[in-house]
Homo-oligomer: A and B are copies of this chain.
Amino acid sequence: MNKPRKGSSNRRPAAVSIRDVARRARVSIATVSRAVNRISTVDPELAKRVWKVVDEVGYVPNTQARALVSGRSRILGLIVSEITNPFFPELVQEFESLAVAQGYEVMIGSTSYDPARTESLIRRMLQRGVDGVAVMTFGIEEELVKKLVEREFPLVFVDAGPELPNIRVLKVNYGEGIREAVQHLAALGHRQIAFITGPLRLRSAMARRDAFRKSMSEVGLTVPPQHILEGNHTMEGGMTAIEQIVALPELPTAVLCSNDMTAIGVLHGLYATTYKVPRDISVVGFDDIHLAQFMLPPLTTVQMSCKDLATAAVHALRAGIEPDHPKAAQKDWLIPTHLVVRKSTEFPRGTLPALGKAARPRRTARTR
């Protein structure tokens, strides 16, 4: 016996509301609300009656109304730079699972490195009233930060962010994995190792490059400037870079890439030449996307676990959103990285395999 609502003609048939439940359970809507939210001041007997009706009529609380009155939408914003880079879907998936398991919804946005898109993305997130935002673009547009910061918004960044009360930072230990990669190559006998960076305005890209430089000097190798090329974290960028590398008078025997997509581009670029991987050139990626192990040859790469990343991001966000979260005070969250050896790295050409064999590290166990 639904009395027809007044509203505009083109609204969908109204869902069952808290009032309907209250009526059928012969209690007030306040009691229904409290029962549904499992507030302890409601008599267990009554609560049971309410829940029974809830199940019977299929009552689902209206999130919009909830958000309106409580001021919290239970939506987490997740900003990535490029959803079509396979690393991010993996991250998104992990993030989403975790968020949903903890009662949050997630709103995803991809900036495509475009300030205008980013701008509108922030506006949209603000407008939709997200409770906090994880900026996983691995590089922060300053203005983006300012916009959010001034709202006293819970924020999570990767690598670096301003020192502010509402801001938490996921610190990725690039040094660790990249050192492993460099040592692996050096142990194989490589002396000339090139590095293809990401877009250098991203801090994370700079951090990876710096970690490479540091690791190289640690093992006593020098890096001539022409062995560091700027890529852009895409396959196309990797291709362009490797084309420049093979045009070099003195060819490096190994190439380390700032991410896996770049490495895939390198593989592709090399396919067009007479150089074979790993026989002539060894290639190492970064990220360990699922695809890496399916490349030809399977890609040796530094694993940055997106599960770790997602877990840290969600927890850090909640810590910022919920005032009495146990880790509310923790500002830095550490993310480890590790080398995964596959088939795209070998002794440099001309090295005696017999000699090298001993030097080749065992295949890592965590090969996913």
Contacts and interface: CB of A to CB of B under 8 A. Distances in A.
Interface of A: 7-8, 10-15, 60-65, 67-68, 70-73, 83-84, 86, 88-90, 92-93, 96, 100, 105, 107-108, 110, 120, 123-124, 126-129, 151-153, 235, 264-265, 267-268, 271, 290-291, 294-298, 322-323
A165 to B, nearest CB: 13
Contact of A60 (B10, B14, B127): B127
A143 to B, nearest CB: 15
A296 B323 contact: no
Contact of A152 (B12, B110, B128, B153): B12
Most buried by B among A90, A120, A267, A290: A290
Contacts of A8: 70-71
Contact of A12 (B65, B86, B92, B151): B151
16 contacts: A10-B322, A12-B151, A13-B152, A15-B151, A62-B68, A63-B127, A84-B90, A89-B89, A93-B110, A96-B110, A105-B107, A235-B290, A264-B294, A265-B294, A268-B295, A268-B296
Copies in the complex: 2
Given A15-B126, A105-B107, 7 more contacts: A13-B152, A62-B129, A63-B129, A84-B89, A84-B90, A86-B89, A96-B110
A64 B244 CA distance: 52
A128 to B, nearest CB: 5
A84 to B, nearest CB: 5
Contacts of A84: 86, 89-90, 93, 290
A275 to B, nearest CB: 13
A108 B65 CA distance: 21
A64 B73 contact: yes
Nearest to A75: B128
Most buried by B among A15, A108, A294, A323: A294
B323 A10 contact: yes
B105 A124 contact: yes
Contacts of A297: 271
A235 B297 CA distance: 15
A206 B89 CA distance: 27
Contact of A61 (B100, B127, B322): B127
A65 B93 CA distance: 29
Contacts of A92: 83
A52 to B, nearest CB: 19
Contacts of A93: 83-84, 110
Nearest to A131: B12
A73 B96 CA distance: 21
Nearest to A121: B100
Nearest to A123: B60
Contacts of A70: 7-8, 11
